[in-house]
Amino acid sequence: MAHRAQRLSRQRAAGLWLAATLAVLTCLITADILLQREELGLRWLVVAILWGSAIVFAHLWLRPAWRFAPTSLEVAQCVERSQPRYQQKLVTALQLSELEPNDMRFGSPAFREAALQAWSQKYEVPAWQTYANRQPWWQMLCLLGGVITCLAALVCWIPSETSLALLRISTPWASHPWPRADALELVSPPRIVAIGSNVQLEIIDHRGPLPQRVDLQVREIGNTQSAGQEVLETVIAGEVAVANLNSMSKGVEVRAVGGEDDSMAWHRIDVVEAPRLTSPVFDVTPPAYSLRPPIEIVGHRIQVLAGSQVHFRGEFSEKIAAVEVQPLSSLAELQQESTRAAASWHAVLTSDQRTLQLSDPQGKPLPLNRTLRWRLRVTTANGLEVELPENWGIEVTADQVPEIVFPGSGFNLLAVDATLPIKALATDDLGLVKVQLQLQSSEATEPITTTLLDRPSLADQAPLLNLEIETQVSLADVFAAHPGEQISVWLEATDTFGQVTKSPAELFEIRSSAELLSTIQQQQERLVEQTQHLVDAQRTNQSQVSKTASRIEATSKVRQSDREVLSSILQLQQTLSQQLSGASNSILETMTQMQQRLTQNRLDDAPLARDLQHLSSTLQSIAAESMQQATNSTLQAHEAAQRTVDKSQEEARETGQLAAHAAAAQLDTLGKLQQLLDRLTRDKALQQLQSELARILNQQTMTRDATDSLHVDGLTEANTELADRRLNLSNDQQALARQIDELLRRGSMIAQSANSVSASQLERFQRATELLLQSQVSQQMREAAQHIHQERFTSALDAQHTVIRSLQEALRMLGSNVSTSATENLAGRAQDLREMSQDLANLASRELQLADALQQSPAGTPAKDLAQQQADITATTSQRQQAAADLGDAATQENLSRVLDQQRDAEQSASEGAMEEAAAAARNAAQQLQQTAELIEQRALGLDHEARQQQFFQLATTLQSLVELQRPIASQLEEYQPHYNPEPVLPTPDELVQLTAAQEVVRLRVHEVRRETAELPTFDWTLEQAERDMARAVAAAQRNRIQPEAWEAARLALGKLNLAAEALSEHADSQSAETTPSDAASDDAGQNDSPRLVPPLASLRLLRALQQDINAQTAEQDRNSDKLSRIKRLSELSSQQRALGMQLTLLLEQLTTPAQE
């Protein structure tokens, strides 16, 4: 039983050891299959893990099992533990059986034998199978079976991978790599190369397309450290990756790595000293068409014409055994074809084993029609094969066709007798033999040919590779052209090979001289735009340098910002100089091109040509003198500013003087440029002045707003912080004054010389000029600048308001639609219509008088004087029609068109002597003119009504905004009153200053609004009272008399503003259902000849509201216990009551007295 127990234990231990070892082996196989790593250390580590696991498992199970040897007594004790019925008698019997015969401790041997027999008769001998514990043994079998099953499943699932993994584990020293998706290979890599060779290695992938990236690893021979490796990225071309090793000087080992393939074996390339080919010579025989002699060319790479015959020869530095030509393929060829092109070369070594000749297989020069590149592979005398490093090549080029550069003229209109300039360049790589000029008319079938070059024989002449063509062709000498005909012009060039090149044809159109002049004159628009841009930029630059000069002179200091400003001014001035007379796209270049076109078309004597000649000389004078002086003075000021930044006052004053000199020079340039612009825009000179006047108005408005802002900020900020702003504003205002003076001066000059300006335009311009002179606009601008400099902002704002109104009125007289509001726009349009109506009425009267004269004239006799009078009236009517077209008045334009038809009929009839027909046509024209005048007058009345309504609504909106501005001021002052706050707190000085400034701003706004209520006595008086109350509030607040003077005055002003706004708003609501403007215009025309801004009903409503307010205040004073205060307030109310009565009297007089126009 003990032997069987030992055997069972060993079987179980062996099974456990085998199962655990196989489990570890299965895990290692699975890991190797999944990871597929090729590191040699990892493979040995796997073997170590397997053997280590086996040893550990043997120590854990096999060693204890083989040492397990149970005794008989231990077996008996084990049986008694499992069979309690033995009650230790089996152990006793076993001990009795093992006693020696002479041992008498437990009786004699016979007695012991009898006892043992009695025990055996009572108890059976135990069987081993009964007491053996086989459960661990069966567990071992199950575990072993499971591991073997897993291993078998792995083998059945991936047998090849499993077998390779077992092979890799069993033989870690052998190279058994895992198969990869990529299998890179070097294609025929060299093993020996010469020193200095450039080796090109090609790499392919046997298992599909190349990876996205393939690298070439390079290391020195014998260096196995990865740190010494160099990695070169290859260039992939189709299915081949190319890498280059340049100028090799020592042996290396290379291999390709990319994708999943990183196990390529290293390939060794040795570098040796190779024979050198000296004195290489190419014997080239050019093709016959090139007309060139045979030549010898020394070099490695040459270029020949297609069809040339080439023979190559050279001598090696030492004897060689054999030589072979190795064709080369470039990367471009690899991208086009998979195999490299082969060259038809035959290498021959002479008997001295040193001289090499390359030719065709018959020994003749090789005719070439494609490019060849090759290397030489030689076998030295000792049998070493080496590829020489030099690359040889012959590039074959086809004969290039001639090239013709024939730039277009840019102006494709020609006169009948024009001179056509031809400028071109013809080139050829071999030589030109013929150049012809072709001219073809649209009405001809064959072109007219003019030969410019003809070289039939080139035997004794050098080839002509370039030909500059510069000639002129007179159209009158070539063929008789007429207006409307089209002419095509091109050049043809022929080379020695007979190849012909035709330049792109340029198409010209024949026009009459009048049409050409009109077209060239239209091109002046571009010149005007360029000049206008130049004038605007020069004006801005002059303003900037003037401001900078004033600032430097005022502060006696050059700051860094001044230097930067002068730098930008200099850059802009230099740019303006280039735009004026630069090399390309300048004004001078454009003017020169226009002169050339006039000369080309024989229009030198035209007035336009003379004008352009005068303008060109003027422009050259400006560019050479004024513009150059302005640029130089600006440069001097900039250089001085760079030297004197943050320096002494004396140096700063000098810089300021230089800046002032630059400003004066730029101002002189600006004046001359403006005169040039006036000369260019003679027909539109007045429109140009009108645009400039509108620009000055816009700048004056912005200056007024900036002055207002400076005034408000001056109440809260320190004076030193606003000095720069005040100085800049003063300079801006002075600049506007100078611009107004210059505009008036130019206007007087244009008015004297503007022959093409209509009489109506000239009359309106003279009226606007007279208004500006009478208003002394420039003087008022200078006064405003002086007020700003002296910090008298209220006076400055008053002067600026006057200037703005004068400028607006001048623009309205000029017929401009530039206005500060829709009201003024409507009023201006109405005035224009009224003037047109009056002109047409006068024309109707003249036409009617002419009709009477025609009626009284004898029939059958042509009346030239009457016909001339009719022609004058017709011309005037045509001008009025054009004026209507300019205003966009289609209806008036159509009516005047019918009038013109009648007037032309009258003129023709009068010329033919048909007086009755002429008189009838003239009467019809007069009647239509009168009807048109009446229609325009009605439209003017309608626009007047719309203007009144628009101004009314604008005034209502303005008053409401003033109420919203005044309300928070009164509310804030009320917070300081005792009845509002039991413990009132006086405002801080800062709060008081802010309140005063806010109240002053509202007062100024009210003062400005009163300019719009001059024709409304009631509303103007109300706003005047509100303005006085606001002034009293400001004065009281400045004296810190908040309780109750300031609050009381602000409250009263708010009340008056609110009453005026409510009166206008109430009337606006009632006006929403009134008649249309045309009906209202008819009522006004029939009932009241003087249009009123606001109907009297609104004034009556305001008077009623004011009376109610006085009544309420009077009743309030009855409850005032302060007698002195009550008497003072009642006295003020009494004065207001008397003034209110006077306003009511004036309103009644206005209602009862007819207004005169």
Q: Which of 87 and 645 is assigned the larger pLDDT?
A: 645
**Mean pLDDT computed over 703-711:** 79
Half-sphere CA count of 120, side-chain side, radius 13 A: 10
Q: Are 422 and 469 in contact (CB under 8 A)?
A: yes
- CATH topology (fold) of 274-398: Immunoglobulin-like (2.60.40)
C-alpha–C-alpha distance, residues 989 and 995, integer Å: 10
Residue 626 or 460, more confident: 626
Q: Picking from 671-685, 755-769, 1098-1112, which range would have the lowest pLDDT averaged per residue?
A: 755-769
Which residue from 527, 576, 537, 543 is spatially nearest to 676, judged by alpha carbons?
527
Percent of the chain with pLDDT over 90: 2
Residue 1154: Cβ within 10 Å count: 7
State the burial class of residue 1072 (Cβ atoms within 10 Å of its Cβ: 0-12, 13-18, 19+).
Answer: exposed
> Mean pLDDT throughout 1009-1035?
79
pLDDT tens per residue across span 18-56: 989 999 999 988 988 888 777 778 888 988 998 999 899
Instruction: Say whether pTM exceeds 0.85.
Output: no
| Cα 1098 to the center of its chain, rounded Å | 56
Identify whether the C-beta of residue 1079 lies closer than 8 Å to the C-beta of residue 942. no
Banded pLDDT at 1157 (limits 50, 70, 90): very low
CA 386 distance to own-chain centroid: 60
Q: What CATH code would you report for 403-511?
A: 2.60.40.10
CB 1013 within 8 Å of CB 1023: yes
Start-end of H helices in 236-365 = 331-336
- Give the three-class secondary structure for 1094: coil
User: 28 and 154 in contact (C-beta within 8 Å)?
Assistant: no
- Rounded distance between C-alpha atoms, residue 1066 and residue 1069, angstroms: 5
Q: Residue 278 above 50 pLDDT? A: yes
| 1054-1067 per-position pLDDT tens digit | 888 888 888 777 66
pLDDT in tens, 57-81: 888 888 888 887 777 767 776 666 6
pLDDT of the residue at 1076? 40
Peptide bond into 1044 cis (omega under 30): yes
Structure tokens at 643: 């030297």
Which of 114, 105, 317, 339 is CA-nearest to residue 240? 339
Give, for 44, the enclosing helix (H) or strand (E). helix 40-57
Residue 308 falls in which region: left (phi positive, over 0), alpha (psi -120 to 50) or beta: beta
Residue written as tokens 């047998």? 159
Angle, helices 560-581/607-621, rounded to nearest 10 degrees:
150
What's the 3-state SS for 707-722? HHHHHHHHCCCCHHHH
- Long-range CB pairs of 812-815 (<8 Å, 24+ gap) are 813/764, 813/767, 813/768, 813/771, 814/686, 814/690, 814/693, 814/764, 814/765, 814/768, 815/764, 815/887
> CA distances (Å), 970 to each of 273, 1030, 1059, in order?
107, 10, 16
Q: Which DSSP helix (H) or strand (E) runs through 309?
A: strand 309-316
> What average pLDDT does the chain have?
78
Check residue 1080 and give its pLDDT.
Answer: 38
> At 776, which helix (H) or strand (E)?
none
Q: CB of 638 within 8 A of CB of 566?
A: yes
CB 654 within 8 A of CB 552: no
More confident of the two residues 385 and 266: 266
Tokens describing residue 823: 């009201």
- Cα→Cα distances 100→88, 105, 107, 109, 909, Å: 21, 10, 11, 9, 182
Burial degree of 341 (CB within 10 A; 0-12, 13-18, 19+): middle
Residue 707 burial (10 A CB sphere; 0-12, 13-18, 19+): buried
Q: Is 1014 helix (H, G, I), strand (E, B) or coil?
A: coil
Would you state the pLDDT for residue 255? 92
Q: What is the mean pLDDT of residues 735-761?
A: 70
Residue 508 C-beta-side C-alpha neighbours within 13 Å:
28
Tokens found for residue 130: 């009964």
Distances (CA, A) of 857 to 848, 852, 853: 14, 9, 6
Cα gap 1070→62, rounded to integer Å: 120
The domain 955-1152 is placed in CATH, from the list 3.30.70, 3.10.310, 3.30.1490, 1.20.120, at 1.20.120
pLDDT tens-digit series, residues 1116-1148:
877 777 777 778 778 777 877 887 788 787 777
| Banded model confidence at residue 1073, pLDDT cuts 50, 70, 90 | very low
Q: Assess contact for 766 and 751: CB atoms under 8 A.
A: yes
Domains 274-398 and 403-511 share a fold: yes
Task: List the one residue out of 382, 319, 386 whose CA is nearest residue 351.
Answer: 319
- Give the per-residue SS3 of 355-412: EEEEECCCCCCEECCCCEEEEEEEEECCCCEEECCCCEEEEEECCCCCEEECCCCCCC
Question: How far apart (Å, rounded) are the C-alpha atoms in residues 21 and 16?
Answer: 9
Parallel, antiparallel or unpaired: strands 184-186 and 199-205: antiparallel
* Residue 758 near residue 839 (C-beta atoms within 8 A): no
Phi, psi of 585 (to 5 degrees): 60, 25
Residue-wise pLDDT for 785-808, tens only, equals 888 888 888 788 888 888 888 888
Q: Parallel, antiparallel, or unpaired: how do β-strands 320-327 and 372-380 relate?
A: antiparallel
Cα 384 to the chain's mean position, in Å?
66
Report DSSP state, residue 261.
Answer: B
* Angle CA 707–710–711, to nearest 5: 85
- Kindly state the average pLDDT of the residues 557-568: 84
Report residue 253's pLDDT band, with 50, 70 and 90 as the boundaries: very high
SS3 category, 133: coil
Burial per residue of 1098-1129, b for 16 or more beta-carbon CB atoms within 10 angstroms, e otherwise: bbbbbbebbeebeeebeeebeeeeeeeeeeeb
Element (H, E) at 192: strand 192-194
232 and 246 Cβ atoms separated by less than 8 Å: no
Rounded-to-integer distance, Cα 131 and Cα 127, Å: 7
pLDDT-based confidence at residue 626 (cuts at 50, 70, 90) = confident
Q: Please, are residues 1021 and 1143 in contact by the beta-carbon 8 Å criterion?
A: yes
Q: pLDDT of 752-774, one tens digit each?
A: 655 545 565 667 777 788 888 88
Residue 991 has pLDDT above 70, yes or no: yes
DSSP state of 982: S
Q: Which of 306, 295, 247 is nearest to 271 (CA)?
A: 247
Cα-only R_g, the chain: 58
What are the structural domain ranges in the chain?
2-83+126-170, 180-273, 274-398, 403-511, 513-681, 696-752+759-816, 955-1152
- Do the bridges between strand 235-237 and strand 192-194 make them parallel or antiparallel, or are there none, so unpaired? unpaired
The amino acid occupying position 459 is A
pLDDT band per the 50, 70, 90 thresholds, residue 815: low
Residue 1093, pLDDT score: 41
* Largest separation between any pair of C-alpha atoms in the chain: 200
For the domain spanning 180-273, the CATH number is 2.60.40.10
Q: Tell me what the mean pLDDT of segment 263-273 comes to.
A: 86
Which among 314-328, 937-951, 1118-1132 has the top mean pLDDT?
Answer: 314-328
CA 954, distance to chain mean position in Å, is 42
Position 986 pLDDT exceeds 70: no
Pair of tokens at residue 267: 């390939």
